[in-house]
Structure 1
Amino acid sequence: MTDDEIAASLLSQVTAIAGQITGRMQEGLERLDLTGPTANLLWVLDPEGEPQSLRKLATLLHCDPSNITQLSAQLEERGLAERRPHPRDGRVRTLVLTAEGRQIRQRLLVTVARRSPFADHSDNERRLLQTLLAKALEGP
């Protein structure tokens, strides 16, 4: 196989895995009463990390800030998150998980781990894949 064929095969495999993840997650998301986009937003809201601005969240999720505004409103309506001023810059709005939001996020993480295409792989295999994917995401 040439380098170009290997690269094309890798991209095909990653795309197929992304599709599998979406399919496997659907039932679990429905049980948590989440849509894919709201689950993605919950996913990136690290309860231990620094509060992220709505603009930064849009960047992380590769979407328009108006989408984050809409998703934030949905999470707020459910009592899972609150929009608050940034602790160091009150002009910036952040999204912070509530106690219930932290619980739902934890259940989401468990659901994802159990339904992952990598769930049956060994710890060493998952660590190796994690390292390789992190390197790929860093870019050249």
Structure 2
Amino acid sequence: MSQELAASLLNQTMWLAGQISGRMQEALDRLDLTGPLANVLWLLQPDADPLSLRAIAGLLHCDPSNVTLLSAKLEQRGLAERRPHPRDGRTRTLVLTEAGEEVRERLLTTVMRHSPLAGLTLEEQEQLHALLAKAIDNA
């Protein structure tokens, strides 16, 4: 890869990340969420197997005690509940409540609607997704 291409790719990536981050902050403010709480909401997919608190900590690259604190905040707001894992009762999971699913959907919808990625076609979004996944896997 040439130096010019590498610099341009990094510049574009940083610009895009800045745009998405700024628009995400607007959505977080409207929903009265912090970045860390939103990060947990992103991870809790309603139709997926529940994630253990330890798995969430691993995905967020943070200490499990941080996830315990974030879980408690989400529970206080009625957005999530800590429950035993359905197949291993010794493991605690975090599951979205109905209100949590609604807030997560509003967050995703708002960020995507106002994201620079919204101007891409579905096919282009899928191509970008595949390329970013490959870059992440190479890391």
TM-score (norm 2): 0.91
d(CA) in 2 for partners of 1:114, 1:11: 24
* Alpha-carbon shift at residue 4 of structure 1 (Å): 4.4
**4+ runs of 1 displaced by more than 4 Å?**
none
Matched residues, number: 139
1:118-137 matched pairs, under 5 angstroms: 118-137=117-136
Opposite residue 21 of structure 1, the aligned amino acid is I
Q: 2:78 and 2:92 mapped to 1: Cα distance?
A: 17
Match of 2:55 in 1: 56
Q: Aligned pair in 2 of structure 1 residues 136, 42: CA closer, same or farther (>3 Å)? A: same
- In percent, how many aligned pairs have the same letter? 63
Q: Which has the higher helix share?
A: 2
Q: Higher mean Cα deviation, 103-112 or 120-129? A: 120-129
- Listed one character per residue, the Cα deviations across residues 9-32 of structure 1 (whole Å, up to 9, x for unaligned) are 323322332222111111211111
Shift of residue 8, structure 1, vs aligned partner:
4.0
Q: Secondary structure at the match of 1:43?
A: helix
**Which residue is 2:14 aligned to?**
15
SS in 1 for 2:8: helix
TM-score normalised per structure 1: 0.90
Matches within 5 A, 1:1-140: 2-139=1-138
Unaligned runs of 5+ in 2: none
Report the RMSD for the aligned CA atoms in angstroms: 1.6
Give per-residue Cα distances to partners, 1:22-74, cap 9 Å, x unaligned.
Answer: 11111211111111111111011011000111111111112221211111111
